[in-house]
Structures are given as structure tokens and as C-alpha cells.
Amino acid sequence: MDAPRQHNAQPLPARTLRAPAELVAAGLLPAAALTGAEAVAARYAIAVTPAMAARIGAPDDPIGLQYLPDIAELETAAHEVSDPTADAPFTPVKGVVHRYPDRALLKPLLACPVYCRFCFRREVVGPDGGLLTEAELEAAIAWFAATPQVREVVLTGGDPLMLSARRLAWLVERLSAIPHLDILRVHTRVPVADPGRVTPALARALATGKAFYLCLHANHASEFTEASAEALARLTAAGVVLLGQSVLLRGVNDSVEALEALFRVMLRHRVKPYYLHHLDAAPGTARFAVPAAEGLRLTRALRGRLSGIGQPLYVRETPGGGGKRPVQADPG
């Protein structure tokens, strides 16, 4: 899947770009977009890894749209809310979200390798925030140990694979030692956005005696590279089960061809497409919205083109924290 990057002759960045001026200097954003991008940067985190910078051919291509700041982010539509999945009311202790009886989220940190312009937690994620202190993490682990109806822990954030391999191994070991936790799961962008982080030590950190599922967030086939293929192969070899989750996004994957290509590349990398998310109404994300009726048409069209293992469930959040529900034939 290697290719893109033809729009300019700038050398590829060697490190993650975080400042709008760096994005302009790298040829990813036009100079005319600098002032607007700086206004966005004052409110929301920005990060473009070398792996993703190499996949951007233009600011409005499917990869550029996902990661490059746009002044439209500062316009909040009437229906957009800062916590669309309503994590806060379901937080029994800091870092834990308990919404469903048998499973709960653990958010050890709120940093990510990249910052997606459509993120549903965009008001809280960022490079400086959200790392649980030792005492907070112990309190969160204690909550899981004292809550026997919870059988599955979902590590999310932020991106838990931003922790060091050593810290991750410690956390996985502590959670695995809780007898009633049968399943550990991690939600991550790292294997595609920053595949070099998936070292043999990191893959080993996830290998546990318990079932470990890694849910990979990717939205377009061209996010997959040779490096991400190697990262995913390392995880598979460690015994990690790979699932895929994607967001249906205008301009990124809002065609049956783009979705088919995405799910085919996932399957080739042993990633089972699990969820296709309807966009959550986070502030300043309206440009990515695809109406549910259109999403349903697309997912129905996919059924004639891909086998059952390539069909994710198309879901949306219920307002007020009611959780995910399959999208039915409801317009919107």
C-alpha cells in the first residue's frame, strides 16, 4: 500500500509535527492556511506523525482531512456537544467509565499519536493531559477488582499504546491478575499512525494468559503501509486478536468503493472489521457528517461486494450516554 506524497518536494519529517508553522514548512498546509490553523491550535491538539505525513498528498485528501487543522473546527453547530458519549456521568472513579453492566473503560492517559479532527473526545485529549497518577491508577485497578460483574476491561483514552512497553506490561499484568476479568481490550490508532511504536517488547506486553483484543482505528485503505503491516504481524504473532473500527467520514470514506477497499485491506492484515461508527456530534466536526440514511445505503451496498467477515456493524451513540446502537432505518 505504499505510495502518496507527490504534492511538494519537501523532505519527509523525521518527527511528529505539532505546530501549524511546521505543517506549512513541511508542505502539508498552504501558507494561506497558517493563521486559521493557529487559531485552531489554540483550542485543539494537533499531531501528524511521519507515517501519516507521508500519506498526505493534499490537505483535502482522505488522510489530510483526518489530521490537518481547518478553521471550520471553530464553528460549533447547534446540535454539537463537548462530551457526546457522556463519559462524565458514568465515571465511578477517575479514568474509569462504566456504562454497560459487564464491561468498563479504563483511560490511563489522554495523549494520542495523532489528533483526529473529528475526535469525539477532542475537548479532553492532548499531549499534556490526562496521565493518571500512580494513586489514581491504583484506585482504578482497585475499582475493577471490587466490581465482579465487569468481565471485560477496555483500555482507551487517548491511546494506551502511547505508554511505554514497560508500563503497559505492568498494567496488563495487574489487570490480568483480577480473576473475574476474562477479556482485555485496547483501542488504538498506533499500529497505523505510528507503527514504529509496536516494538517486539510492546507486542509482548499485550501477551497475557487471557484473551486480548486490539481494536484498530483506521478510516482509509491508504493509512496502511508496509510498516503497519509489520506492526500488525507482530501483534498477531503475540496472540493478540485484531479487530477494526472506523468512523464514516465525509470526504474520507463516504463511498462504497472506499469502504470496500478499507475493509479488504483490514482483512488482508488479519483485522476483522468490527464497528463502523456514525460520527459523534463533537464541536466543530460538522464537515465530516454523513447522514444516517446515506450510511445505511452504503453499508447495504457493501453486502453485495464483501463476504460476511468484511462487514462491520454500523452503529451510533445514543444521546445522553445510552451506549451504541445499530443504525436502523432512521434519517439523520
Contact positions vs ligand SF4 (CB under 6 A): 112, 115-116, 119, 121, 125, 158-159, 189, 217
Return the residue matching grid coordinates 482504578. Answer: 140
Pair 215, 188: CB distance under 8 Å: yes
| Least gap, CB of 310 to ligand SF4 (angstroms) | 22
Vertex 195: Cα angle to 192 and 197 (nearest 5): 135
**Residue 309 in grid coordinates:** 467477515
Contact 172, 240 (CB under 8 A): no
Nearer to ligand SF4, 217 or 272 (CB): 217
**Closer Cβ to ligand SF4, 189 or 272, answer by number:** 189
Phi-psi region of 163 (alpha: psi -120 to 50; beta: other; left: phi over 0): beta
Q: Which is nearer to ligand SF4, 116 or 150 (CB)?
A: 116
Nearest approach in angstroms of CB 241 to ligand SF4 is 20
Nearer to ligand SF4, 189 or 316 (CB): 189
For 274-294, b/e burial (b = at least 16 CB within 10 A) is bbbbbbbbbbbbbbbbbebee
CA distance 301 to 323: 26
Nearer to ligand SF4 among residue 217 and residue 278 (C-beta): 217
Q: How near is the Cβ of 40 to ligand SF4 at its closest, in Å?
A: 14
Output the smallest distance, CB 276 to ligand SF4, in A: 14
Q: How many CB atoms are located within 10 Å of the residue 44 CB?
A: 18
Q: How far is the CB of 157 from ligand SF4 (least distance, A)?
A: 6
